[in-house]
Amino acid sequence: LGSPTVLLRSASRIVGVAAGEHGHELLVTLHAQGVALYDVRTQTCLRSWRTQTGTQLTHAACLHPSTSRLIGVRDHTVLFGWESRGEISLGSCTQTVGAPVLALLHDPSLLDGVVVALVDGSAVIFDAALTRQIGAAPRPAGSAGARAVWSSLLPLPPGQSSPIALVTLVQSASDSH
């Protein structure tokens, strides 16, 4: 391990960090400021996208690598997208989901798809431009009142009906710990 370094100092709360397009890049989402792409090797900001005053980002933005589009979340349930070469436009390319967002996930096998895992355990799949819903997965049976705490896309062995599986950990509503 190398020596720890400070990549960013901000008065705005960091709501999440995601991978950039390259292995040495990080996408940092700031609650009230916007999204910034950093090169961790040089510790420099490569690009930033500012939000309008009063906008509250509530989840880490993600970069969809094959389309060079970014997807952000505001107010826990509103997804918005923009091209990496453009500016954030909160009014265009939006989708609203029925529960707060837990995770934004993508895999090359989804082509231009993005899985939006929700805290109720369900998931919705949109195209990266957020122009249409491609699919959906209901909340797991018997999970009413439970809360999803983690979700990921995992590869399946060759020969399966699908190359990936959505795995979600759900915490029971009665679990107090």
Tell me: the pLDDT tens digits for 72-110? 999 999 999 999 999 887 777 799 999 999 999 999 999
Tens digits of residue pLDDT in 57-69: 999 999 998 999 9
pTM of the entire structure?
A: 0.90
The residue whose two tokens read 């490569």 is 46
Tens digits of residue pLDDT in 125-135: 999 999 999 99
Tokens of 2: 């190398």
Q: Where are the beta strands (DSSP E) in 84-140?
A: 94-96, 101-105, 113-118, 123-127, 133-137
Residue 108: CB atoms within 10 A of its CB come to 9
DSSP category for residue 13:
P
Name the nearest CA neighbour of 28 among 64, 79, 62.
Answer: 62
- pLDDT exceeds cutoff 90 at 38: yes
Tens digits of residue pLDDT in 113-169: 999 999 999 999 999 999 999 999 999 888 788 899 999 999 999 999 889 999 999
- pLDDT value at position 177? 53
